[in-house]
Structure 1
Amino acid sequence: MKGLVYGGPGARSWTEIPDPAIRDPRDAIIRVDAVTICGTDLHILAGDVPEVKPGRVLGHEAVGTVVETGSGVGGLTTGDRVLASCISACGICRFCRDGAYGQCRGGGGWILGHLIDGVQSEFARIPFADLSTYKLPERVSNEAAVLLADILPTSYEVGVLNGRVRPGDTVVIVGAGPIGLAAVVTARLFSPAHIVVIDKAENRLQAAKMFGADTTVLAGTDDPLSAVRSLTADLGADVVIEAVGTPQTFELCTALVRPGGRVANVGVHGKPATLHLEDLWIRNLTITTGLVDTYSTPKLLDMLVAGQLDLGHMVTHRFGLGEFMRAYDVFADPARSGALKVVLAG
């Protein structure tokens, strides 16, 4: 079969790789029916995630059909259509028992496309399959479901819930990529008074408006601080969600938040960011970080089925499974391509 293989910083190839095989009784093998590319994959290719070694198959977001199960898998059968979560959960360790699956110490956590081969391939091995996959109702399309593998639960848990978004809040989201746009969608569930989105690409700000942002700020042209203060009687935002992962955007977030407010960092950082405690110590801020746990995935799937989550405009480009090299080029250059989320289907 073929897969998208990481060859070191800046190097990737769609090439022949061995077929996956059951290695543990709790494994399942899926045929990959729909898969997408994450901003984290771009961070890996930039060399920001040194744990990923050359030769690794990338990818951690897929929908597939079960073709084989290990003897310890009780909840899946051949032919089941499933969402493969970006997080694998052993279900036994202390963190899994607390629902913190991203911190699993039993061999799970974020391992797909990171510590083991991922799902950007024709077939994939899914560890702890009973706890790390979700059967999909017929009415949910592969394209909609694949967005629940990572970006929706990440934005919801690490951004909106960690930021404790409440009715009447002013919420600022720095970054209008897929994670930032998913934060707009899930923040709206809590009826904030204002959602402000800041980005340097006009096409992504237009997408943010389509998903429900009230105000957009074009970074580099508009003044984010003035825009936020004008909405908040000069106080600052109640919640600021960092959805980029650069030192500049993190420091901007800490400048935009009001005294007593919350900064929820979602972005993957490849370089150190300065925490200006000389200014922040007196402001009673809460700053959170986090890797998604995906405990919210069943609830988000229920909301998707019920029509409470509108994801119809998130996927902007579609490719065949063999077009990974082109899909990466498009996804990595959103200013030129206008890409939000790309989906590849078998």
Structure 2
Amino acid sequence: MKALVYQGPGNRSWRDMPMPEVVDPGDAVVRVDAVTICGTDLHILKGDVPTVDQGRILGHEAVGTIVETGSGVTTRRPGDRVLVSCVTACGRCRYCRSGMYGQCLGGGGWILGHRIDGTQAEYVRVPFADTSTYLVPDGVADESVLMLADILPTSYEVGVLNGRVQPGDTVAVVGAGPIGLAAITAARLFTPGHIVAIDLAQPRLDAALHFGADIVTEPERAQETVAELTGGLGADVAIEAVGVADTFELCTRLVRPGGHVANIGVHGGPATLHLEDLWIRNITITTGLVDTHSTPTLLRMIEAGRLDTGAFVTHRFALAEMEKAYEVFSAAATTGALKVVLTREGM
């Protein structure tokens, strides 16, 4: 089969790889019908995630069809159309039993495209298939469900729920890429008073307005804008959706005393925590890897027509055009790419 293989920082290739097989009784082998590229994949290619070995197939998001299951799989069978979650869960360890699947001690967590071969391939082995795949509702498009593999549960859980967004809040979202736009989408479910989107790129600010932000601004004017909007108090919740020091530190300046900073971004380097300014302001700072405990809820919302993910997809490719898709996605500032979707049907 063909797959996108990481060959060290700055190097990748779409090439032949061995077909995956059932290794453990809980495994399923899934034919990949739709897959996307994540900003985390770009972080890996930059060398920001040194735990990824050379030769690893990248990717942790997919919708596909099960072609084989291990003897221990009881709730999935060949022919099932499933969402492959970015987080794998053993379902038995201390963390899984409390819904913290991202911290799984039983061999799960974020492993696809990280510790084991991932989804940017024609086929993928998914461990713990019973608890790490979700049946796709009839009548729901692959690419709509695909947005629930990572960006929507990540933004909903790590951004909005961790940030404790409440009705009437002023929410500042720093970074209007796919994760930031997903945070805007998720925040709207809680009817905040204002959503302020902050980014350097005008096309992304335009996208933020389309996704539901009511105010957009560039970083250098962000503090002034938020202060004017809140009578000088600051944002109730500041969501960091980039993963660099400047944007995290900006969030800590935007938030009001008693407010929340919810860090979603994947950081490849340190950021300065200005405790000399923050300690007296009663600010709560949260970080997190998504647990995907919200995925069933989000699936029900999509099935009921209460959550529309179609606007995230800006570019579509055949699976065999993986290299081209990476070029477009990695140059988002010029291509306008939000999420790219690659499908088997396009081959």
**Structure 2 length-normalised TM:** 0.98
Partner deviation per Cα, 1:209-253 (whole Å, 9 max, x = no partner): 111101001235xx1100000100000000000000000000000
Tell me how far 1:139 sits from its aligned partner.
Answer: 1.4
**Residue aligning to 1:8:** 8
Query: What is the rounded CA distance, in whole Å, between the counterparts of 2:308 and 2:104 in structure 1?
Result: 31
- Name the amino acid aligned to 2:284: T
* Pairing of 1:137-216 with structure 2 (within 5 A): 137-216=137-216
- Please report how far the alpha carbon of residue 313 of structure 1 lies from its aligned counterpart in structure 2 after TM superposition: 1.1
CA distance in 1, matches of 2:295, 2:87: 11
Aligned to 1:255: 253
Structure 2 match to 1:292: 290
Q: Does the residue aligned with 2:310 lie in a helix, a strand or coil?
A: coil
Would you say the 8 A contact 1:185–1:310 is kept in 2?
A: no
Counterpart-to-counterpart distance in 2, 1:133 and 1:322: 24
3-state DSSP of counterpart to 2:314: strand
Give the CA deviation at 1:4.
0.2
Q: How does 1:54-203 map to 2 (within 5 A)?
A: 54-203=54-203
Partner of 2:336: 338
> What secondary structure is seen at the aligned counterpart in 2 of 1:342?
strand
Find the aligned partners of 2:309 and 2:209 in 1 and give their Cα distance.
Answer: 13
2:232 to 234, 239, 249: 234
The letter for the 1-side match of 2:142 is N
Cα distance in 1 for partners of 2:311, 2:90 equals 34
CA offset at residue 127 of structure 1? 0.3
User: 2:306 & 2:236 partners in 1: Cα distance?
Assistant: 25
Instruction: Give the Cα–Cα distance (whole angstroms) in 2 for the partners of residues 316 and 206 of structure 1.
Output: 14
1:264 aligns with 2:253: no
Q: Distance in 2 between matches of 1:158 and 1:111?
A: 18
Asked if the contact 2:329/2:338 (under 8 Å) is kept, the reply is yes
Report Cα offsets for 1:259-292 as digits up to 9, x if no partner. 0000000000001000000110100000000000
The runs of 5 or more residues in structure 2 that have no matched partner are none
| Post-superposition CA distance 1:30-66 (Å, at most 9, x none) | 0000000000000000000000010000000000000
Please state how far the C-alpha of 1:325 moved relative to its aligned partner.
0.6
Deviations 1:65-84 (A, max 9, x none): 00000000011111110000
Contact 2:143 2:310 in 1 (8 A): no
Deviations 1:164-212 (A, max 9, x none): 0000100000001111000001100001000000011111111111111
Give 1:119's aligned amino acid. T
Q: Secondary structure at the match of 2:21?
A: coil
Residue of structure 1 in register with 2:274 after alignment: 276
- Counterparts of 2:219 and 2:323, CA distance in 1: 30
Contact 2:167 2:192 in 1 (8 A): yes
Q: What is the aligned length?
A: 344
Letter in structure 1 aligned against 2:223: L
Unmatched 5+ stretches in structure 1: none
Match for residue 301 of structure 2?
Answer: 303
Secondary structure in 1 matching 2:311: coil
**Distance in 2 between the 1:311 and 1:205 partners?**
18
Report the equivalent of 1:321.
Answer: 319
SS in 2 for 1:281: helix
Residue pair 2:160, 2:183 contacting (<8 A) in 1 also? yes
Query: Percent identity between the aligned chains?
Result: 68
- Report the Cα offset of residue 312 of structure 1: 1.8
Q: Could you tell me how far apart the structure 2 residues matched to 1:22 and 1:53 are?
A: 21
Corresponding residue for residue 219 of structure 2: 219
Match of 2:189, SS state, is helix
Please list every run of at least 4 consecutive aligned residues from structure 1 whose deviation after the TM superposition is greater than 2 angstroms: none
Distance of 1:172 and 1:95 partners within structure 2: 31
Contact 1:172 1:241 survives alignment (8 Å): yes
Root mean square deviation, CA, Å: 0.6
Deviation at 1:299, TM superposition (A): 0.1
Corresponding residue number in structure 2 for 1:44: 44
What's the secondary structure of 1:313's corresponding residue? helix
Counterpart Cα distance in 2 of 1:19 and 1:186:
37
Alignment check: 8 A CA contact 2:175 2:198 kept: yes
